Amino acid sequence: MKAIIIDDEKRARVSLNLLIQEYCPNVEIVAECENLPEGVKAIRKYNPDLVLLDIEMPGHSGLELLDFFDENDINFSIIFTTAYNEYALQAFKFSAIDYLLKPINPEQLADAITRLEKQKQKLENFKILKENIQQESLSKIAVPSGNTLIFLDTTKIAHIKGEGAYSEVFCITGTKNLVSRNLKNFEDILCSDKRFMRVHKSYIVNFEQVVAYNKSDGGSLELSTGVHIPVSPDRVQLILEQIQIVKR
């Protein structure tokens, strides 16, 4: 596997190269570049299988790399190297794009390359990643269902029901998707967005779809889809505050 490193820090390039030599013997580094324009030239020259790409570089963000290529020319995979904050890391996670958090862990590096060898990345995943990082809330997420990735518009999600290691995502269009992520996984990413809240041990709700709060029988939320979602007693006050925030 031919690979190119693009990173503005020389120490980071040297360190990554050494890690690859030691832990990924099947990977050959054919070029090291200190900025995006150099990286673009190297990709066109060497036609690599993999690009190890820093995001935060002077002049150009690593996220702009694909802007320099036509879709038909993108026949390489990307692993981002980043010191980004937690929200951005969740954006990577839900775009199904691999990243390595600096300082890079050798085992995680080897695991990421192994995953790429087994599954080809899709351009749609990069579009979702770029869109999500540039916004304060996630607009789309990529979630695994069986052997496929499903791309979901978060504004269309009505509620999510946890089922052990799996979750059922219910959309306002009437569709339902069983995905191989537990509810805590969705809570970690979606509930940083004020639209979503885990209102019960088994449910996350999109408050833009809440039409009523019913106090009887322990409390429940009625959604625009007609579904009634139970709420935990300790969440009632937070739920009422959330309704006011979202409905303003």
Tell me if 172 sits within 8 A of 224, measured CB to CB: yes
Q: How many domains does the chain have?
A: 2
- Tell me the sheet residues that pair with 112: none
Each residue's pLDDT expressed in tens, for the chain with a length of 248 residues: 999 999 999 999 999 999 999 999 999 999 999 999 999 999 999 999 999 998 888 877 777 887 888 877 788 888 888 876 554 565 666 565 778 888 899 999 998 888 887 776 666 667 666 665 655 556 777 777 777 778 788 889 999 999 999 999 999 999 999 988 899 988 877 877 778 999 999 999 999 999 988 888 778 999 999 999 999 988 888 888 877 665 55
Claim to verify: residue 47 and residue 72 sit in the same structural domain = yes
Tokens of 40: 């673009």
Packing angle of the helix pair 123-133, 86-93 (nearest 10 deg): 160
* Residue 237 neighbours by CB distance under 10 Å: 9
Q: Is the dihedral of CA 127, 131, 133, 139 positive or negative?
A: negative
Helix residue ranges per DSSP H, 24-164: 36-46, 86-93, 106-118, 123-133
* CATH code, 223: 2.40.50.1020
Residues 6 or more apart whose CB falls under 8 angstroms from that of 67 comprise none
- Judge if 93 and 194 occupy the same domain: no
DSSP annotation of 193 reads S
Q: Which residue, 166, 231, 242, is CA-closest to 201? A: 231
DSSP state letter for 178: E
Domain boundary among 96, 113, 133: 133
CATH code, domain with 84: 3.40.50.2300
Residue keyed to tokens 């940083």:
192
Q: What is the DSSP letter of 82?
A: E
Spatial contact of 221 and 199, defined as CB atoms under 8 Å apart:
yes
> Residue 7 sits in which domain range?
2-133
Asked if residue 162 and residue 95 are part of one domain, the reply reads: no
